[in-house]
Structure 1
Amino acid sequence: MTEARETGFLRQGTNIAWLLLVGSTLFGWWLGHVVHSADEYVRIATAGVLVTAFVKTWIVGFQFMELRHAPWWLRHAFHAWVLVMCVVLLILCV
C-alpha cells in the first residue's frame, strides 16, 4: 500500500519550520539594527534576540532532530533545557 503524501509547500512541516527560522533570523537582525539606532532599547533588543535564538533552537531540535518522535523523557528534557537556559541567560544578560 502506498502512503498518501501531502503536496504543497506549506503542507510540509520542514518547509514551515524553515520559513519560521528564516523569519526569526530576519527578526533578530532587525532587533540588532534597532539597537544601533536607539541605545535606550538595548536591553529589550538583547532579550528579544535571546528569546528568538532559543525559539530557533527549539524548532531545530523538534523538527530537524526529530525530537517530536523521541521518547517522552527526552522530549521533556529538551524542552526543560531550552527553557532553563533561556531564562538563565536572560537573567544574566538583561
Structure 2
Amino acid sequence: MSVLRERITVVWLGLMVATCLTTWGLSQDLFSPAVAVTGIFLIAALKVRYVMLDFMELRHAPTGARAFFQSWIAVVVLVILGFWFATTSLT
C-alpha cells in the first residue's frame, strides 16, 4: 500500500486523469474550438511540467535550471497558441 502514498504515483494518476480529460472532454463538440485548443494546450503544459519535475527529477535541481525549463514550457505554449489564434483569425 505504500506505493499509493508516494508522490510519483499520485502524479502519474493525475497525468492519466488529465489525459482522459483532454481526450474525451475537450475533443468533443461541447466547447468552441478556441476554448478546446486553449484548454488542451494548457493541460498539456501542466502535464509536461509535472513530467519534468517528477519523472525527470528537476524538482530537486538548482533553481535556475527549474526556472529555465518551466519558462520554456510557457514560451512554447504561448508561441503555439499565438500562431493558432493568429491563423484562425485570418480565415
TM-score, structure 2 as length reference: 0.83
Q: Which runs of 4+ in 1 moved over 3 A?
A: none
Q: Tell me, which stretches of 5 or more residues in structure 2 are unaligned?
A: 86-91
For residues 62 and 73 of structure 1, the distance between their equivalents in structure 2, rounded to whole angstroms, comes to 13
Bigger-Rg structure (1/2): 1
Deviations 1:14-68 (Å, cap 9, x if unpaired)? Answer: 1111011101101111201x2xx35x70111011111111111001000000000
- Match for residue 89 of structure 2? none
Whether 1:18 and 2:12 are equivalent positions in the alignment is yes
Whether 1:76 and 2:70 are equivalent positions in the alignment is no
Confirm or deny: 8 A CA contact 2:45 2:77 kept in the other structure: yes
Identity of aligned residues (%): 30
